[in-house]
Amino acid sequence: MASLYIIPASFFGYQSFSYDAILELVFAIITLIVSAYAFKVYKLSQQKQSKLFGIAFLFISASYFIWSIINFGILEKFEDSIPNYVNLHNINALITIGVYIHIILFITGLVTLTYMTFKIKSPKIYSLLLILTLISLSFSSNVIFLFYLLSSLLLIYIVLHYLMNYINHKQARTLLVLIAFIFILFSTIHFIFSVNHALYYIIGHFVELGAYFLILINLILVIKK
């Protein structure tokens, strides 16, 4: 059976789902605001990259909303009664559904961001990237590990894009976004090692949270300018 647990084993239980449900909801709201500001930038500038940025973060926001809803559903099952075999079976089914939907939406967001960095208009290339990524995940015996690995590879390309932008233009706002995506890359790599370490898991989440705030600040500055 494929390994599907996105929460470290040492962190598994009622409190972990409570923590995850709240934090993922915060992530969902912040990334949704990021998406909204990206679309505002697109309306002002008509730049295709801003539109793709907004679409990407809309997918990422949806992935967090789904994972948060699933975790709240798991909390309800814990509260209904003392977990028994049937209850634990239902909880495991919810986790499986939630993880797969979260992964599909999140990886679609990252693929969209990576495609944005190409600065081309080719639905064929976009669909090829997305299909190859999703197929590789569907045939993996360890979905979570491959998810974080693929996410890290996509984020490396995104980081390199913003690094080259900063080297060429030396703009403070570009540096802000570069730092943000470095933080997201760091947190994603961090999650690979968080399977049995709750501390890594918590650190990774807070680094990711800081990254989303930096991206939001950058978009707010763009709107004000």
- For residue 150, give the CATH number of its domain: 1.20.1070
Q: What confidence category does residue 151 fall into, taking pLDDT thresholds of 50, 70 and 90?
A: very high
Q: Tell me, yes or no, whether 2 lies in a domain.
A: no
Q: How far apart are CA 148 and CA 208, in angstroms?
A: 14
Q: Tell me, yes or no, whether 174 lies in a domain.
A: yes
Q: Please write the tens of the pLDDT for every residue from 103-113.
A: 999 999 999 99
Residue, of 51 and 20, whose pLDDT is higher = 51
Above 70 in pLDDT, residue 218?
yes
Q: Tell me, yes or no, whether 36 lies in a domain.
A: yes
Which residues touch 193 (CB under 8 Å, ≥6 apart)? Answer: 200
How much is the average pLDDT of 207-218? 89
Q: Tell me, yes or no, whether 148 lies in a domain.
A: yes
Above 70 in pLDDT, residue 14?
no
Q: Tell me, yes or no, whether 109 lies in a domain.
A: yes
Q: Tell me, yes or no, whether 1 lies in a domain.
A: no
Q: What confidence category does residue 138 fall into, taking pLDDT thresholds of 50, 70 and 90?
A: confident
Q: Which domain holds residue 75?
A: 9-224
Q: How far apart are CA 3 and CA 148, in angstroms?
A: 13
Which residues touch 98 (CB under 8 Å, ≥6 apart)? Answer: 66, 67, 69, 70, 71
Q: How far apart are CA 60 and CA 158, in angstroms?
A: 15
How much is the average pLDDT of 168-196? 83
pLDDT of residue 197: 57
Q: Tell me, yes or no, whether 3 lies in a domain.
A: no
Average per-residue pLDDT in the chain? Answer: 82
pLDDT of residue 119: 82
Above 80 in pLDDT, residue 86?
no
User: How much of the chain, in percent, has pLDDT values that exceed 90?
Assistant: 42
Quote the number of domains for the chain: 1
Q: Tell me, yes or no, whether 153 lies in a domain.
A: yes
pLDDT of residue 4: 46
User: How much of the chain, in percent, has pLDDT values that exceed 70?
Assistant: 78
This prediction has a pTM of 0.84
